Structure 1
Amino acid sequence: MYTTTDERGILNNYAVEPQMYLADYPAPEQQERYKLQAAIATLLVGALVLVSLAVS
């Protein structure tokens, strides 16, 4: 950990920053899984909106 001390003796700690890297493009099977998750989420939100409208 990188630490500095000012003239009054107060410590200032800096966190260790992780090494940066570029993300990989998702594989085709991951893309299909994302599409399925999006479809399920859309249906869930749509059903919740319809139920809230029906209840009110």
Structure 2
Amino acid sequence: MPYTNEEGGRLNNFAQEPKIYQAEPPTAGQKRTYIILGILAAALVGGVIFVGFFVSQSSWA
């Protein structure tokens, strides 16, 4: 643990900082995967909304 001495002889304990790295832009394959997952997520949300609307409009009596 890294300790620092402050004024008056007080010790201060700081958390260890993680190593910093620069993020790399996504590759073409990753971009394609993101697009496919986005389309699937939109289809799932649309399907849930459709089912909810259909069930709310149907009468059971």
Q: Normalized against structure 2, the TM-score is what? A: 0.67
Structure 1 stretches of at least 4 aligned residues deviating more than 2 Å after TM superposition: 1-4, 12-15
Give CA deviations for 1:1-45 in whole Å, capped at 9, x if unaligned: 2357xxxxxxx6532110111110000011001100000000000
* Structure 1 stretches lacking a partner, 5+ long: 5-11
Which runs of 5 or more residues in structure 2 are unaligned?
A: 5-11, 57-61
Q: RMSD of the alignment, in Å? A: 2.3
Q: How many residues align?
A: 54
Cα distance between partner residues in 2 of 1:48 and 1:2 = 52
Q: Percent identity of the aligned residues?
A: 39
Paired position in structure 2 for 1:7: none
Return the TM-score normalized by structure 1.
0.72
